[in-house]
Structure formats: C-alpha cells, structure tokens
Structure 1
C-alpha cells in the first residue's frame, strides 16, 4: 500500500510541476483551402484545369539528415474540397542525383523504405490525434491513426480513400481524395490541423511542410488548414456483408473433407460527423494473411495484431504499455456492438461482444464489455480511464480497470504512466502501474521508468488483456542517440543502451537486463550492427513431482549483423549470433533478402539456423525455442495495386513443419470490397502428442460494402 501511495503522490507532484511550466508555442504555418466545382480525377496526372487555379504551398524543412535545413528537393502541395471529398496533390521534383526508389505494392506496408508523400489531418484540431495517409510513387496506399501526439501509430486501421501516382521527367506526382464519410471530425470547425511530409530514401531524408519539428508525426507541431467546410452529416450507413466457403481436411480440427459455408458482416452507422456505431454479426476470425513464425528467445507469449474489421475503428485507444484489453483474446464472436467518437475533448470507445461456447477448449460462452475514455488536457496531453469486464453464464467473471496519462510539459519532455487494478482476488496482488519520464527527439531518447506489478495481476488481466509477467518492482532506463554526418563516408551512427532491474514483491531480485547496440550506416549503403543482450532471470516452473520451484537463468545474446541498403525496401542482411538461452549454449545464423525481381514481382527470403547443440532441456511453464532451420519465402506478383497473387512458404526443421499459403486477391472496392481465394496447407509433428498432423484448407471469401 505504501508503494502505491508513493506512485500517486509522485503523479500529483509531477502534475503540479507541469501546470507551472511555460510551454513554448511557435508560430504555425497556415494553408487556405478553397471549394472546387471541378473536382480532379484521381489518376496521377495533372490534367489541365484540375489544379491550375489553386495556389500551391511549399517550403519543406528537413527532419533528417540535416535537421532544420531546406529539403534537398522541391515539393509543392495543393488542396481543395467539395461536398464529398478533400483533394490533395503533391508535385515532387526529383533530380538525377536522387533516383526514385519504390518497390512496395502491398497496401498498408509503406511505412518506410520507399520514396513517399504523407498527409496528416488533425480533424479535431486537438494537437494529439490525426489521420495519416501515405502514398509511394507506385500509388501504393497506407492509412493509419495517430494518437498521443505521435507516440502511437495504428497501421491496422483502414478506411476508404483514393490515391494515384505518376512519374514525370522531373520527378513524380500524387493525387489523393479523402471522403468526409471516411473520417471523423467536428463539423463546426473551419480550421483543421494539417501537415505534409515527404520521404526521399536515396538521401535517407524526411522533410515536413510545417517547419522544423522535434520528431516525426508530432501533431502539435503541424500547421493549420483554414477555410474547410465539412458536411454536418456525411454518408450515414455502410454495410459490409461477407459470404465465405471453406473446404477443410484437418487432423487439427478433426474436420475431414468438410465444406462449411458461412455468412456474416459488419455495419457502420455515422451518427454524426464525430460519432459512429459499429455492429458485427458472426465476423470471420480467419485472417486472409498468414502469421509469420517469430523466433522469440524470451520464453514469453508472442502477440499478434487483430485484423478484424469490427476492432479497427478506435482500437488505437487501447494501445498502452499494459493492456487490460487485447482483442485477440476474443475468439469467435456471435455478435457485437461498438460506439466510438469524440466531443468536448473526450474521446470514447465502448463495446460489447458475445463469444460462443468453445467445447474443444472447455470455454463457456461469455460477454466482453469494454469502456474506454480519454480526456484532452493542457496543450497536447491526455488522461484516460478504462473498464473491462468478462462474464460467462456460470457467474464466473474477470474485471479490470485503470487510469493512464500522457503528459507533454514541453516539446521534448513526456511523462507517461498507468495505474490498474483487477478482481476477483486481493486488490493489492491484482493491481499495478508505472511512471515514466522521457526526454526525446528524432535524434535522441532518454527515459527512466518505475513499475510496480502485483503478484497475481496477470491471472486476471490475461482473461481479457495482455501482460507477460507480474510480481515486480522494476526500474528501467533507455538511452539512444543518432549522429548524422554531412559530406562523409558515413551516413549515421546510432547507439542504444537499455537497462532494467526488478525485484519480486518479497524484495528478492528476480532479474536484470543489459541491452546495447551500435549501428553504422555508410554512404555506400552498407551497414554494420553490433548488439548484446544479457539477462538474469528467476522463473517459476514445476519439478518432476509437480511441485512449484524457482529456476535461475543467465541468458546472453551477442549479434553481429552486416547489411546492404537495409533502410530501403530492397535490402540484404546476414547476421551471426552466439549466446546462452535457459542453460543451453546457442548459435544463430540469419539471412534476409528482399528484392524487386521483376517489375511486378517482389521476392522476400529469410533463413534462420538456430542451434543449441545436444541440449534438450525443457521447463514446464517456460516456452523454449529448439534446434531448427527455418526457411521463409514470400512471392508477391501485382497485376495492379488491387489485383495480386501471393505465395508464402515456411519450413521448420524442428517439428518438420511445411506450411504453404497461396492467395489470390482482388480489391474491387478498396479497401473493404474484396474477393479472396486462399489455399493453406500445414503439415507438422507435435512433439508433445508424438504424432503428425496434416491440415488442408481452401477458403473463398467475398466482402461487398454497400453505402447509403
């Protein structure tokens, strides 16, 4: 109790300090947008009359490598609107010394590595949240939601919008159309926050229209868009029905030569310009993308993103260090409803879903209820609260609740924290939190954090959320810095130092970690990285008689990596690592290559050799990697950006697994209207059950969005 009182007292003191601090507010850049009666055709061509009468803006300033200097190439931006869309165009001058670099054709993957342009819209002008839209010279689109003044970016978010790009002798151009019905906003605002960005990979350059910023995606340091008149009521209703047909022949599900038709869908109702309601009936939990195998040496559970449409809108509000709500904890869903929006500085996401009984796993049907609220305070800070409840029909329940905050007392300072509790059970053992102070920019990061987690907190949280471990007092501190060089053989040197130590609630030290690396990136695009990770851990397990016991491990990991062009989308790297992992000597050799084999064909290949010698140790309750040779091959052939064929193959020598995944995809109404034909075959040996499993699935799915 004393420790919790200290955390609350510290928070109060920090809050008072913030109120006394003067916040530097620099002059914002403004752009006037005008109504157009002649909307442009989004085709990547500046046709006569489309943009001629619009005054362009320019003056981009580098974030890196030469922070504060003019961008090395000229970028002009144009903007207009009508009753349906916001229209934005970029004219990107690019000389012969900076060749256009673009290989990514997969939607939502343009997050770096290609030349690109960026549009950020702060529709609530709250200096915290924004919608992001990125397009590369191939016209490949990526959309995302930004929260907490650039601290979190949710790339799983999708919406309907158009974009096209075209190449010119002097560079390339891009056109975008963002429907008002695809985003939320306050209709009474005639001023929005806005920023434009450009990535120039050949120079490792990022520049922004608004001027010099502390870091990328800082919404509070963007500019203003004046004169916008958005409709009070955008498109009111969207239906996303789907039909699917699955053929299954599987030892895993014990379904042999079975055909299973399915139908379901989602409903989106725009209640106003800033509030919407989502409903779902029997959403399809089967992803149309295969999950990559991850080599993870920590022994903890690995998390994966949730791609279901129902959870995309507003899911970024659940992004926090310790997550009381992790939507993949909910498997199949019978039905659900969700309410999201923002008004008066309050953002909210309230949902309720029902999951069916899972006889195979012995799980009863259950209701999941989540209420999340975030309040804007000060200039660009937030405080939030969350309540999560899981209840089945046998009066069994798990509930968690919490408070969190992101405080920005200055341009480079961030104070973040979280308090959470759960029940049933002793509240002290089922609660926890952290407090973190950071100073950061695009070049450096320094933070100090204290964490307190109750001894049984994970027991409740992991019913609905994601928490890898509990029972700890923890101190951690990270430091990093990037040194940029001009007119040198060296592009940059990046150094990182990460340290943490934690004790159990009984005061006994249970672990510490030292993680350090240095990375050199040369002008010739070769790179070298040296990384070391040393960990002492005390882990809970059971002995041969089934009695609980504590085990002590000294794990370390030393890696040397040589790469070429690794900051771009076409790259190659080779690494060699040695170490010790849970009392086993370890060696790892990894190779990665990604290249544009043909104009429309992208090839990615990864090989990983993991060797522990003859050690065959195992510890109940601790997930261990084993000796294996892992091969992963991905082939993508794009007829257009919305019509493609993908082949994905994995082989794991440990469990003799061969996984083959083939996908034909056609987005006829991007991004939601799509037809997928998928084949998945999985054959492996289960070392626990001592038997082989064979799984074959053919999956056909059609989603057809309907708007009213």
Structure 2
C-alpha cells in the first residue's frame, strides 16, 4: 500500500513554475481600502532586521484602518498601527509600525518558538491563499520576533493548529515610540492556485497585551464568540491583490536525523539496577511539492524521542482518558483528517499509530484542487526496519476528502484501515456542515466499522443544530454509538449509547455601575439524556454556569451540576475502591477563577464539592506562575481530590512543576516534574532545543522516574525514593531546501 501511494504521488508530475514577470517597481500602487490591499513589487529584498529604513517602505502606502475586536468591538484602535505589504519573486514581506504611548509597558518575554506569545504584545498575519473563505495559514510573532504558526481548517483554530512549523524570518525593534517588525514569508512555504496574477485573502492583527486589546484589518466582529476565534473567521478576511510572477521553487525539503541515547531500567524494585543500554539510529523526513496544490510528506524510520511528556492524569471516572497527540508529523495538517466528535467519538485519532510499535515508514499527501481538499495518510508500523512490509508489520491507512458545495457548506468522507497479516479493522464515514448567519450551523456525520471479527461490526453517528449570534444562542444534538463501536484508528470514550443534548447561552457585553472591570457576562446551561441502545436510561446531566469576563483577561465563574448514573456493573476508581452497581444521583457546585497570565505573577484555580456515587467528593485545583524575565518562567500546579464512598476517605493528587529557561530565540529548554499518589511515582522530563539553523534542531532529552517503596507515606520525611527508569537522548536534525 505504501509503495503504491508513493508511485501514484510521484506520477502526478513536477510542480509547475510560474512566470516571473512582474510590474515595474516604480509604478504606483493603489492605496489600501477597508477591505483591499495591493502588494508593492520590489526587485531589491529588504533587510529583515526590524528597522523600517529601506526606501521600499517609504514607497508603500500603509494600512492604518485597524479596529478593535476586543474589548470595544468596532471602535478605533487606542494605539496607532501601520502595516506595509510588499513582495518579490520569492517572498511576501510584511512590516508593522506599532506605536505605543507607553512603550515601557510593552510586554515581551517569550523567547521559545511555539511558546506562549499570547502572553506578550504580538501580531498575526493570516493568508487565505485559495480565497475559499475557509482555510488559511497563520503566522504569529511577538515583540521580540519570536515565531509561531498555524493552519486554519474550515475556520477552526485550536491549540493543535499551531503544530505546523514553517520556515520564515522575523525581526523586531522596541524603541521609544513603540515597536517595529519585519517579516519575510517564502512563497515556497505556501500552497496556492496556478496562475501568474494572484490574490490572497489577508488578515492583519495586533494585540496590545496590557490592555487586552486586539485590533484587526479588516474589521471582524465577535460573531464567533471571542477575539481569538475572530482570527480564524477566514470568510471575513480582506483581499491582497497584485501578486504577479511568483516563483514557487522546486518545493523539495529533506530533513535527515541522527539519534543516540541510553536507557537504564529497574523493572522490579527488588532487583539491582540494570546495565544502561546504548542505542543509535537514523531516519529522514521528506516534503515534496507535487504541484502547486498538492504536498507529499515521506518519513522513514521515524523517531519522536524529542516530544514533550504527557501531563499526568488520574482517572476518577468509568470511561477512558484522552491524551492529545503531540507528534509533529501527525499534527501538521491534522485538521484535514478530523471526523467525528473531538475527544469523544473520533473516527480517526492519530495517537493510535506507533505507540506500541515503531513507525517504520510513512507517507502523506495533502492538498486542495478546486473545491476539493483532503489527504491520504499511510503508515507502516512494526517491531523493526527488518520487518518493513513483513508478516509482523501493521499497515495504517486513512483517506479524507471534503468539497465545498455552497459558499458556506461542505460535504466529505473518510476511510480508515488497520491491516495485519491476520486481522483487519475498517471504517468508512460521511459528514456535512452548513454554516449560516453569524455563528449558526447544521453539522452531521456517520461512520460504519467492519472488523475481521463480525461481532465488532458497528456504527455511530451525530447531528447538531446550532442557532447563535455572538450574544445569544442555543443548540440541540443527537449522538448514537453502537455497543461494539471501536474503529481501530479512532478514539471512542463511551460505547453503547444514545445521547440527546442541548444548551443555551446568553453572553452580553455589559457596563455594570460600581463594577467597571466587568466586560462581559456569560450565562449558559446545558443538559444531556443518555440511554443505551436498548433504550434503558444510563445517565442524565444538567448544569448551569455564570461567568464574568473582565477587561484585563481575568475570569471568574460559578457552576452547578446535577448528575444521575445507573451502573449495571461495578467499576474501580482504584484497586481497593469499588463503586457497586446501582442508581446514583448527586449534585456538585464549583467556583473557578483565572488571572491574566501575561502578568509577571498569574494564577488560576477552582474548588468544587458535592455528592459522588453515594458518597462525597471535593476537588481543589490551583495553578500559579511567575514570569521572572525573558529567560525564566516558573509554573506549578496541584490537583487534589478527596473522596469518601462510605468506607473512609481517600485522596487523588497530582502535583507538577515546570520551568522554561530560554537563553535566546534559538536556544531554550523546558523541565517538567510530576508526581501522583496513585502510582506513587515522581517523573522528570528535561528537554533542551537548539535551533542551529532555521528548521533544524539539536535536541537533548533526559527522562527519569522514581517511585516510593510499597505502602510508603509520601509525606513521611523518612520516605525513600527508588530509581525505576532513566533515559538520555541526543537527536540532531538538519533541513535541506532544494
């Protein structure tokens, strides 16, 4: 399968090369309007140093029409912003001059690429290269020039969207008038239609962090509910015109890696430490632009040793936990493969691939041709490269296709297949979505699974209707999951259910006498009625929440939830705490709060208490951090639950401490230390990243775990920690652009 995919992709031919004609760089460019900008051509590339002293920027008519999306939607920006757009045959250039009446208050501390730029003054550039009003590239830079980037899929933007790593240049200067920035985005990093005269959708954004103010060009309102979601409202982007003679390049990126490491394990605390096992390996990732619309990614002998550790979770429910994907190969363009209900009933969940076996080789083709977009993913996993395509290897295949049928409507389908020498599991699904009004939609999907064991053949489906504006809305949904529904490449939290759910919200912008700090109130309620496929009631849920959003990104909220659970079989919270079958009804109330995390000191926390399966439960969660400087950020967290099921109380505790140490924009490290009292294990993950050239890294990773002796009291100062496992890894990558 993998070899066939590679041959088919290569047969599509080499990328087309656009003509290199361009307007003379001394011709005047039309002035910007509220929704349109004309890019200025230059045959002399500007120096990307943050100083806007080149003649080019004096020739470009800047955009000044920035308006607030938050906190005062539609109002003029409180600080003047100018943006300049130019290009040559190879790069798009964007420069910002961001004036500030109090430049000494500009927040600029993050040096970690892909880190928390949202805690600083920062800017975004959004590019809808196909002008489909749905999908876009997003480039983010803070006031130190620290970069991040994302891909927007179907006007959706999540934390996972920021896994894309583009190679582009950005530099900034903070001075007595504010800060300036220059950005160069290579056209080879983008995909766009054929043609010599192009127009892109464009969005420009600036955030003045201390004021919690986000301004945009063009004007985009709060229709999607938040100023962050407004960045992804691609259908409302302006237009960038005048792009001619773009050179697409050969679009070939080769990224080999070499890795070496040592592991020492003590599987039984009664045995002496084992000898350290030293290993070395190598592999390669290749990205090839098959055409202007299609990209192929290849990976051979893939290794994800540099991926950050998972956050420890303790499961106090009877359903499985969700651990998000963190591997770059799967996260890039992951939005194209989404199908089903996120974190609940996903037809495809990439984390299923390669967790128990090595990833031996893989290929992915993604792209957009006219109204069609999607991709094909094929991964071979197994015990080692010696068994590639052998009897012990496993083939994992996913194909996804979506097409626009109306300006704001899509339909699509997905197919997944897990195949071994003696087993298969296949799933096929369809989905569709229609958006209308400000934030209203109809969304539906259905998936059927076929397994080599016919008893596992089953289906699931979902339908949602939502009517909403930025201020008021309501929704109703129905979900059905078969009793044996289990796509092998998917994630299913709960089988055997029919769920009817609904909710409503009211979140007006307010001005409360005596409370000028409150900007918006949010009042919402939701409920669910869940039965098995036999119609017998399993769960009912009803909850309400009141939340106040303050001007400076502080939040406080109060919630109340009532839950009914009917247990047909017992389940274990831990080995000696069993919840017996029966009917349980209980109510919990909680209070939550969060301060602005861009301040030097910040915190969040919550407390909830009430009933729990015939007993009581109290939860306390606290997280706090200190941004000491550009070079050090410390954060700590504690989640502590006290549960009493009638046989005496017990606790579930997870504690963590993280430290981000950044020496520059190219050298930074992160340390995460975690402890939980269920496993009684202390874990530490230390990860150092040196970006020695753009797109190329040297990773040094050290993981270690220690455990308490059996029945030891974790609060006894005489307790002893015993070594369980330690791993040290060095990984070097180098990006070659051809």
With structure 2 as the length reference, what TM-score do the two structures score? 0.83
Assess, with a 3 A threshold, how the Cα gap between structure 1 residues 543 and 415 changes in structure 2: closer, same or farther. Answer: closer
Q: Report the secondary structure of 1:154's partner residue.
A: helix
**Is 1:703 aligned to 2:728, yes or no?**
no
Partners of 2:82 and 2:709 in 1: how far apart?
58
What value does the CA root-mean-square deviation take over the aligned residues?
3.0
Q: Aligned in 2, Cα 1:668/1:629: closer, same or farther, shift over 3 Å? A: same
Kindly indicate whether the alpha-carbon contact (under 8 Å) linking 2:200 and 2:241 is maintained by their aligned counterparts in 1: yes
Does the aligned pair in 1 maintain the 2:205–2:215 contact within 8 Å? yes
Matched, 1:669 2:677: no
Q: Unpaired segments of 5 or more residues in structure 1? A: 1-26, 618-624
- 1:63-212, aligned counterparts within 5 Å? 63-96=69-102, 99-110=105-116, 112-150=118-156, 154-188=161-195, 190-212=198-220
The range that moved more, 606-615 or 210-219, is 606-615
Q: Does the Cα contact within 8 Å between 1:80 and 1:88 map onto a contact in 2?
A: yes
Q: 1:350 to 1:473 in 2, by over 3 A?
A: same
Q: In the alignment, which residue of structure 1 is the partner of 2:249?
A: 234
Distance 1:116 1:680, change over 3 A: same
Aligned residues: 661
CA separation of 1:201 and 1:347: change in aligned 2, threshold 3 A = same
Judged with a 3 Å threshold, the aligned counterparts in structure 2 of structure 1 residues 441 and 195 are, in CA distance, closer, same or farther, namely farther
Residue range with higher mean Cα deviation, 256-265 or 222-231: 222-231
**Aligned mates of 1:482, 1:335 — CA distance in 2:** 49
8 Å Cα contact 1:126-1:380 kept in structure 2: no
Distance 2:248 2:552 in 1: 53
Rounded to whole Å, the distance in 2 between the matches of 1:50 and 1:626 is 68
The alignment status of 1:260 with 2:284, answered yes or no, reads no
Is the 8 Å Cα contact of residues 103 and 569 (structure 1) preserved in structure 2?
no
- Aligned match of 1:576: 607
Question: Distance between the aligned counterparts of 1:522 and 1:410, measured in 2?
Answer: 27
Aligned counterparts of 2:631 and 2:332: Cα–Cα separation in 1: 32
Where does 1:248-287 land on structure 2 (aligned, <5 Å)?
248-251=263-266, 256-287=275-306
Verify: 1:329 aligned to 2:329, yes or no.
no
Query: Paired residue for 1:20?
Result: none
Q: Structure 2 vs 1, CA of residues 248 and 190 (structure 1 numbering), >3 Å: closer, same or farther?
A: same
From the superposition, tell whether residues 230 and 540 of structure 1 become closer, same or farther in structure 2 (CA, over 3 Å): farther
Deviations 1:145-166, CA, capped at 9 Å, x for gaps: 1111236671222221122222
SS in structure 1 at match of 2:145: coil
How far did 1:558 drift?
A: 2.5
Any idea what SS the aligned residue of 2:111 has?
coil
What is the CA-CA distance between 1:586 and the residue it aligns to? 1.7
Could you tell me whether the CA contact under 8 Å between 2:36 and 2:238 is conserved in 1?
yes
Q: 2:438 aligns with which of 411, 429, 433?
A: 411
Question: 1:441: Cα distance to partner?
Answer: 4.4
Q: How does 1:550-565 map to 2 (within 5 A)?
A: 552-554=583-585, 556-565=587-596
Contact 2:212 / 2:553 at 8 angstroms: preserved in 1? no
Tell me how far 1:350 sits from its aligned partner.
0.7
Q: Is the 8 A contact 1:113 1:569 kept in 2?
A: no
1:628 partnered with 2:652: yes
Residue 478 of structure 1 corresponds to which residue in structure 2?
Answer: 503
Equivalent residue, structure 1, for 2:521 = 493
In 1, Cα distance between equivalents of 2:216 and 2:443: 26
Secondary structure of the corresponding residue to residue 65 of structure 2: coil
CA separation of 1:569 and 1:515: change in aligned 2, threshold 3 A: farther
- Aligned partners of 1:273, 1:626: CA distance in 2, in Å? 60
- Shift of residue 582 of structure 1? 4.2
Q: Which residue pairs with 1:375 in the alignment? A: 403
Alignment of 1:359-374 (within 5 A): 364-374=392-402
Distance 2:165 2:267 in 1: 32
Shift of 1:536: 2.2
2:228 corresponds to 1:221: no
In 1, Cα distance between equivalents of 2:562 and 2:245 = 55
TM-score (norm 1): 0.86
Aligned pairs for 1:263-662 (under 5 A) are: 263-295=282-314, 297-320=316-339, 321=341, 322-331=345-354, 332-357=358-383, 364-394=392-422, 396-424=423-451, 430-457=458-485, 459=486, 461=487, 463-486=488-511, 488-522=516-550, 527-539=555-567, 541=569, 552-554=583-585, 556-566=587-597, 570-613=601-644, 627-662=651-686
- 1:114/1:579 Cα in 2 relative to 1: closer, same or farther (>3 Å)? farther
Distance 1:695 1:498, change over 3 A: same
Deviations 1:414-467 (A, max 9, x none): 11111111113669961121111123344454321111222211x3x1x11111
How far apart, in 2, do the equivalents of 1:482 and 1:111 lie?
A: 27
CA contact (8 A) 2:318 2:571 kept: no
Q: 1:252 to 1:141 in 2, by over 3 A?
A: farther
Structure 2 counterpart SS, 1:207: strand
Measure, in 1, the Cα distance between the counterparts of 2:335 and 2:709.
36
C-alpha distance in structure 1 between counterparts of 2:51 and 2:233, whole Å: 31
